[in-house]
Structure 1
Amino acid sequence: MKNSVLLLAFLISFVCTSIGWANKPVGTTLRASGATSVVRLDNIFSQRKDDPVFWQDTIKTGAASRMEIRFSDNTMLYLGDHSSLQIDELVYQPNKPGKAFFTLSQGVFRMVSGALNKMDGSTFTLQTPLATIGIRGTDFWGHQTADKLTMALLDDGELRITSGKETIVLTNPLEAVVIEKGKNTVNVFTLTPEQVAQAKKTIE
């Protein structure tokens, strides 16, 4: 009987701790204009400036919309029109290896890495319909449409992009790649200043 009581107390403590961890915000919305929302526990909520962002939220924007989010490790996320990104996992504690996994279903974004991505042993992954991107300490931009993914490295760091059996690694600032559905050939090219300015306008 005593063992059963101790087990029950342990389970209650574990569940409460898990719920508390799951309900802890992982980020804050710094900017929200136009049609901005989150899907949370199958419910849709309008998302405005200063609203928190939670683990497993799906962040969405509509036409002529922008959103800017700062995560707990100071990673910055900027979303443009018609975008949908889910926070699958974000585990961060200062000075300890962490893990982040996001899924971009569609849209345009820019991300600037924070402390988690610069810590040895941490992993940061972005999944899209056409590729899996491993991220290491950088500023990068991307655009996912129904049949094409464009990824560009804007600063120092590394993007390891795996699509099918092919892996492309971007390590030089302004390197970019376009991956098209059904096509195997992938070429790396360098963005022109005009292309960089055009990309940044999509999320400003």
Structure 2
Amino acid sequence: MFQRRCYTRCDSSCPPDEMDSNIPAVVKSRSRLSIARLACGWSRQAWLALALLALAAPQGVEAAAAWVESVQVPAWVVRNGNRLPVKAGLPLEAGDILTTGPKARLLLRLAEGSLVKLGPNAELRLQALKPPSAPGGLFEGLLDVVKGAFRFTTTLLSKAHRRRLDVRISNVTAGIRGTDVWGKAAPDKDIVCLIEGEISVRRGDDDAITMSDPLSFYVAPKGQPPLPVRPVDPDQLRRWARETDIKERGPALSVDGAWTVYLESLSSREAAARSRATLEGRGFPITIQTAQVGDKTFYRVALAGFRNWQGAVAFKDGIADALGFRTAWVAEQ
């Protein structure tokens, strides 16, 4: 007999058309994970944890130059002319174009261990990604931020690797030698903020400017000369960081996420396939799961892989409800 734990907005009942006396409805409280963070970064212990996690890349991405570590949907990848929803664990390659929708976020990991974050309504083109051909070799890449906010951060693991990486923020190119850089291609200006380390920035044919003072930023207004590099206000930096950070309990998907939002349960495989196609076009990596209840087979349209219960419920009560899925429910796999 199919067993599950399910969670809904008002009570712990399962969809009426799938009710079965042998399916318990249990609401389980989840222990809270407390992570101490710096104003715009992680503590040293968290960095160490990330470095250890990087040693075990998700299955199937061992040879990839980069992959998606976490995604707060909706987000898409364009590859060879095909536009598909982004899913956690997706291997990335040179030529991929990543876009995010409103309130969406992306967390990418490069093969050398560094992290790349992308904020909402953004577009990132992976113009070049070339992992080292031998241990100790050079990781090379060119990331093109067409619009939106991004953040590049090295980890303890990536600091031991050599890299030649440029990030182009609209008309400004930043040579990444720093360990923590935030930037944004905005409609009226391009911004590069050095949080830690060192970078060189250049707009077009202008002379390159070396930035080595932590917590300083460069602004190039559209159609005007760049402004002098100056210190960034801590409150402004916190606001910028929130544009690219995925909240700990936000509706994000990860490779090892154990929570699923079931959007609807249908008796027709064809109807479920149509629903899946529609939702994938909107940037949601949908799966269809079958459930046998008595002599009936149901096809569940699901979004799996939420990192925690709070994030799954946030998605169900927010996006899923806005899409018209009033009877969606959450379950732990």
TM-score grouping bracket, smaller chain normalisation: 0.7 to 0.9
Checking the alignment, whether the CA contact within 8 Å between 2:126 and 2:142 is kept in structure 1 is yes
1:102-181 map, 5 Å: 102-113=143-154, 115=158, 118-119=161-162, 122-155=163-196, 157-164=197-204, 165-181=206-222
CA RMSD in angstroms, aligned pairs only: 1.8
| CA shift digits 1:141-179 (9 cap, x unpaired) | 011112311110111x21111113232221111010111
Cα distance change, pair 128–185 in 1 and its aligned pair in 2 (3 A): closer
Q: Identify the match of residue 240 of structure 2 among 189, 192, 199.
A: 199
Q: Secondary structure at the match of 2:244?
A: coil
Match of 1:100 in 2: 141
Q: 2:112 aligned with 1:73, yes or no?
A: yes
Match of 1:30 in 2: 69
Q: Secondary structure at the match of 1:48?
A: coil
Unaligned runs of at least 5 residues, structure 2: 1-62, 246-333
| CA shift digits 1:67-109 (9 cap, x unpaired) | 1011111110111111111111111223012311111111101
Match of 1:87 in 2: 126
Deviation at 1:61, TM superposition (A): 0.4
2:143 alignment partner AA: F
Please report the TM-score for the alignment, with normalisation by the length of structure 2: 0.51
Deviation at 1:116, TM superposition (A): 7.9
> Which structure features the higher share of strand residues?
1
2:140 alignment partner AA: K
Structure-2 separation of matches of 1:26 and 1:178: 30
Match of 1:61 in 2: 100
Comparing 73-82 with 24-33, greater Cα deviation is found at: 24-33
Q: 2:80 aligned with 1:41, yes or no?
A: yes
1:73 alignment partner AA: E
Aligned residues: 178
Structure-2 separation of matches of 1:77 and 1:113: 9
Comparing 44-53 with 162-171, greater Cα deviation is found at: 162-171
Q: Secondary structure at the match of 1:28?
A: strand
| CA shift digits 1:97-130 (9 cap, x unpaired) | 23111111111011113638952xx421112322
Deviation at 1:189, TM superposition (A): 1.1
Unaligned runs of at least 5 residues, structure 1: 1-23
Checking the alignment, whether the CA contact within 8 Å between 1:126 and 1:133 is kept in structure 2 is yes
Please report the TM-score for the alignment, with normalisation by the length of structure 1: 0.81
Structure-1 separation of matches of 2:226 and 2:143: 26
Cα distance change, pair 185–178 in 1 and its aligned pair in 2 (3 A): closer
Match of 1:17 in 2: none
1:178 alignment partner AA: V
2:219 alignment partner AA: V
Structure-2 separation of matches of 1:80 and 1:187: 26
Alignment identity in percent?
A: 24
1:146 alignment partner AA: P
Q: Secondary structure at the match of 2:106?
A: strand
| CA shift digits 1:27-58 (9 cap, x unpaired) | 22111112111110011010022222222111
Cα distance change, pair 117–172 in 1 and its aligned pair in 2 (3 A): farther
Q: Secondary structure at the match of 2:213?
A: coil
Structure-1 separation of matches of 2:160 and 2:165: 6
Structure-2 separation of matches of 1:100 and 1:117: 17
Q: Secondary structure at the match of 1:196?
A: helix
1:35 alignment partner AA: P
